[in-house]
Every structure is written in C-alpha cells, then in structure tokens.
Chain A
C-alpha cells in the first residue's frame, strides 16, 4: 500500500464495496444481512490493513466475507429472512419463473454450497482458491459445487443453451 494506510483503505473500500455487497447479497439473500457481513469483513480487513499486501487484499477480504457469512449462519437453520418490501402484485419480469426459481434454488442451498457457488462462479475463484479461502479440501469444493449445480440446473437452462 503506497498511500497512507487510511487513504489506501478508503480508496480500497470505495472501489470494492459495491461488488462485495453484491456477493454478500447472493450469500445472504437480503441487503440488510449483506451489509452486516460486508461491514464485518471490512472491519476485520481494516484491523489488519497494515499487514495486508495490495495483491492479496482481494483474496483476504473475500475469504473473510465467506467466513463471516458461514459463521453467521451456523445454528440458525430456520432463521426468518427479512424482505424489504411485501409484494402486492405480480412483478413485471420477462423471465419471472426462471428468475424466481433461481433465487429460491440459491436460497435452498446449504450455506457452504452457496458460498462455494458464489466464490467460484460470481467471484471467479478457482477450486484451489476457494478451498484455501474456506479451509476445506479441493475435493470438498468440487463435491459442493456438483451438488449445488444439480440443485440449480433446472433454472440454468437459459444459461446452458
């Protein structure tokens, strides 16, 4: 980090917060929890900012984000999911069934499967990088991915074709 640490952190935050928040949304399913997770990840990142190298900051914060999410989900299998608005009519969506189905399929995944999907396919991390970030084996990443894709496959037809 070449600038003063706080300036560098501010710049990093400004550049990455939106993307990380989207990743967190895919993990948590709502913006409220997503911002909680992102905030915790940035707090942890800031606390070690002086030790983080520029080329490893992304990997570090993604790892923290995933782990914060997984920790927050443990012991809360039946937790209610807050929604910002109560739908009062059909949404005008060109692919309502597919889109809604994909959201539900994503939400129905286990937290670890969902984390693997988001890290691999949204963040573009490799199997090895995902395994390292989550502290699990590459084989576990592959099996989690396989199960997740199986569950989501009915809603991925548009993508495949």
Chain B
C-alpha cells in the first residue's frame, strides 16, 4: 500500500517553501498568547484593586455564584468550584489584593475610603482595552449589557475586544469581564465567532479546546453539555500557567454563512491572588452551562 501511495506523489517534488524562521516566530507568538490571560488579568487586577468596591454580599463566600442575569433563578451563573470562606484565606493574601494607593484608571470613580454599605455603590468601571486588543463597539456593547445587569461594585473591569481579522463583512470579537465577589476574583472571557479566521488563540485560549473531535485531548477534560440548539462542550484546561474552565458552543449562524462558535472561558484564580489552580484540585468539572443558554442567546441576538 505504501508503494501505491508513493505513486500519488508528483515527481519531481517542488522545492519546499516553508520558512523556519517564520514558523519559530509564529510558535513564539503562540506561546505568548497562551500566557496572555494571566498576565492581562494580573494587569487588570493591579489597575482595579485601588478602587474601593462596595460588595453587595457581606456574608460568607457564595461558592462563586454570580449575580443572576435577567432575574431568573435559572439564569444564575454558577461556578462548580466552591470558593473557600474568607476566613480560609491567609491574612497576607487578603491584604495582598489591596495595593498601595495609586491613581485610578481613567473613568473610574475616585477612591472614597473604606467600603461601606452606607455609601452608594460605585458605578461600574469605565471600559478599558488592554494592549494588543482592539477596542470594538460591538464587544463594548455586549460587555456593557452584561455588566449593567450585574450589581454595581461586583465587576472590577471589563472591555470589549475585536480581532484584527475581518472576513467578508464580519469581525471576530469578544469581551472580557473581571469581577470580584466575596473576596474572590473571577475572569470571564466571552468570545463570539471563534472559528476559521478567528481562532480562540488570538484571545489567549488554547486552540479550539474540545471544539472538534481532534481537539478533544484528554488533558482538556471535555464533557458534553446539554443545550437546546447546537452542540456544546465544556473544557477544563490547565496549561501549567493558568487554569481555565469554559464552554464551547456551536450553532448555526442566524445571519447565514458558516456555523458560529461561542467560547466562554472562566479563569478561577485562587482567592487573594492570581495563582493557578493545582492539578490536584478535585473540584468537579464544569458540567453545566454556567449561565442560562437563553440569556446568552438573547444577549447575542440569537434565537
């Protein structure tokens, strides 16, 4: 058979047109992108922790449960990894999230001292895009829609971004939200249209985790998620630098064209610091859509 296959190869072969330097540059870029999330998140943390937040919840840690979207109990954003109570966080780590005084980022409310329930909740922070991300009005609008539905003070920062690539009349875009809830930081990345020319790697995610059969690597811990329309798979990836849990959700693009892919990724840093989870963490995998699929659809204009 091998001999037969060799007859399918043209003879002579054309010269090899691959550029090793280009390959290595792309490889380095891919490495950097894979490391981008914790760096970007840490940068955002440093910029935002100077702002005094008035948390809506003063009770014990809520196990990572986020405010309800749209007010429906079924729409709660539930994290399967419970957050430890604040008392479990070493004092030095609790204070480590409050840096020395520094200028707040533009557009954020001025510091007003120790958070107090007597004070009005601070406004949501202004939009800010990190270096390397193109600000985008669609991403902004979607991020703002989400942020406006969260209780003030919970969200530490958010920004909409767009890839530099445009295919036809479409841009790939997504948004990022950093929130703080009961002393625990979370990071939500919501990417719209992460297929084809808009690979998730441009947002710092592993390449299409679980999206295709070929990408369902054992280390991604892919698990099917029940959805009413399309197919969805959860992933749980530990790159060694950071750990992410998320959803890849494919369905037909209502605007026509190819399938659309939505990737939602959560990073769940340890309380008090942006440190990666241990691989020995025995918390259950994310096995349900972490927010109402209907809400996701509405927010994205999908029915």
Contact = CB atoms under 8 A, between A and B. Distances in A.
Interface of A: 6, 9-10, 13, 17-18, 21-22, 25-26, 31, 35, 38-39, 42-47, 49, 66-67, 70-71, 74-75, 84, 95, 98-99, 102-103, 106, 117-118, 121-122, 124, 134-136, 149, 152, 155-156, 158-159
Given A17-B16, A67-B214, A42 B4 contact: no
Contact of A9 (B17, B24, B26): B24
Interface in B162-192: none
Contacts of A67: 212, 214-215
Contacts, number: 104
Contacts of B28: 46-47
Interface residues of B, number: 34
A85 to B, nearest CB: 10
A152 B22 CA distance: 38
Contacts of B8: 25-26, 99, 102-103, 106
9 contacts: A13-B23, A35-B18, A39-B22, A42-B27, A43-B26, A44-B30, A66-B214, A70-B214, A121-B1
Contacts of A42: 18, 23, 27
B294 interface: no
- The listed residue with most B CB atoms (<10 A of its CB), out of A35, A71, A99, A118, is A71
The 4 A-B residue pairs with the shortest CB-CB distance, nearest first, are A46-B27, A67-B214, A121-B1, A47-B30
A95 B28 CA distance: 46
Given A35-B17, A39-B26, 11 more contacts: A9-B24, A18-B16, A38-B18, A42-B18, A47-B27, A49-B27, A70-B213, A71-B214, A74-B212, A121-B5, A124-B2
Contacts of B24: 6, 9, 46
A25 B208 CA distance: 24
Contacts of A18: 13, 16
A10 B20 contact: yes
Contacts of A22: 9, 13
B230 to A, nearest CB: 14
Contacts of A99: 7-8
Contact of A118 (B5, B16, B27, B215): B5
Interface of B: 1-5, 7-10, 13-14, 16-18, 20, 22-24, 26-28, 30-31, 34, 207-208, 212-217, 258-259
Contact of A46 (B9, B10, B23): B23
B20 A13 contact: yes
A21 B4 contact: no
Nearest to A75: B258
B40 to A, nearest CB: 18
A39 B27 contact: no
Contact of A43 (B10, B23, B208, B216): B23
Contacts of A13: 20, 23
A156 B214 contact: no
B231 to A, nearest CB: 13
Contacts of A26: 5, 8-9
B4 A158 contact: yes
B215 A122 contact: no
B5 A122 contact: yes
Given A75-B259, A118-B5, A70 B212 contact: yes
Nearest to B33: A47
Nearest to A98: B7
A102 B3 CA distance: 12
Contacts of B23: 13, 39, 42-43, 46
Nearest to B214: A67
